[in-house]
Amino acid sequence: MSENLGDLYQVKEKMYVATDCIIFGFQNGKLKLLVFKRKVSPLEGEWSLIGSFVRLDEDLEVAGKRVLKESTGLENVYMQQLRTYGKKDRDPGYRCISVAQYALIRINEYDEELVEEHGAKWFEIDQLPLLILDHNQMVHDALLQLKQNARYRPIGFELLPEKFTIPQLQALYEAIYRRELDPRNFRKKVLSLNVLEKLDEKDRSGSKRGAFLYKFNNDNYRDLLESGYNFEIA
């Protein structure tokens, strides 16, 4: 029923609707992307994002989560619609529009076997291979939105393990913003937001001295959002 003018002209043509997932992870101070090697023709053997056709009885959002689960085993992941790519000749085979969605996952939690089974591989964000169709464009747009989004919501936390150190968090923001941040200013700012809980443990993987672990406090975050504050960092 979303026709209006369409009705008047009696032009009603169905087309394929796909969804492609831009899966971000963060490891060793680097922002990474999970990319898939196509096992089927056409374009077999080329790199692409992980996607699927949307089924008739399936919400768009559900389709995205299904793809993510099928390829990484993960559920309950932060996922957000990016935009829809609908150039008429974007897919040379047949008319197909694609709703791109991006996911932020904890890279230590995914199912490695499943990922391998799907011929997927993590690439550093600035060492991406050529992807099929408009997938490089999708990644480019997703990075831009991630950058903007990170200013207003603490989505950085979605990419870190439950317990993380402040230097790790800083490295993540540096990777997203693609610039260095001052450690004193960063720490001051992020602690002033009052959404981090300091734990008694230390993580010694990054240095001999070790850095204190923190975890994210969701309640305080909600309060903060409601009070109209924003998470602009650096």
Partner DNA sequence: TCAAAAGTGTTATATATACACCCATGG
Partner DNA sequence: CCATGGGTGTATATATAACACTTTTGA
Judged by the rule CB under 8 A, the positions of this chain that interact with a copy of itself are: 1-9, 11-18, 20, 36, 38-40, 42-43, 48-62, 67, 70-71, 81, 83-88, 91-93, 95-99, 118, 132-133
50 binds, among a copy of itself, DNA, none (CB under 5 to 8 A by kind): a copy of itself
Is residue 97 within 8 A of residue 105, CB to CB? The reply is no
Choose among a copy of itself, DNA, none what residue 29 binds, the Cβ cut-off being 5 to 8 Å by kind.
none
Residues 6 or more apart from 209 whose CB is under 8 A from it?
none
Using alpha carbons, list the distances in angstroms from residue 158 to 25, 26, 38, 198.
Answer: 9, 10, 28, 18
For residues 87 and 204, which CB has a smaller minimum distance to a copy of itself in the complex?
Answer: 87
CB of 211 to DNA, least distance (A): 4
Q: How far is the CB of 165 from DNA (least distance, A)?
A: 6
User: Residue numbers of the site for DNA (CB under 7 A)?
Assistant: 165-167, 182-185, 187-189, 202, 204, 206-212, 232, 234
Question: CB of 155: closest distance to DNA in angstroms?
Answer: 18
Q: What is the CA radius of gyration of the chain?
A: 20
| Residue 140: CB minimum distance to DNA, A | 25
- Angle, nearest 10°, between helix axes 166-177 and 135-152? 130
Of a copy of itself, DNA, none, which one does residue 179 interact with (CB within 5 to 8 Å by kind)?
Answer: none
3-class SS at 200? strand
Size (the chain), residues: 234
> Of the two residues 98 and 165, which places its CB atom closer to a copy of itself in the complex?
98
- Of 61 and 158, CB closest to a copy of itself: 61
Residue pair 159/105 in contact by the 8 Å Cβ criterion = yes
| Distance in angstroms (rounded) separating the CA atoms of residues 160 and 190 | 15
Shortest distance, position 56 Cβ to a copy of itself, whole Å: 5
Separation of alpha carbons 223 and 230, rounded Å? 11
Considering CB distances under 5 to 8 angstroms, the limit depending on partner class, which of DNA, a copy of itself, none binds residue 212? Answer: DNA
CB of residue 187 to DNA, shortest distance in Å = 5
DSSP 227: T
Nearest alpha carbon to residue 145 among 80, 71, 219: 80
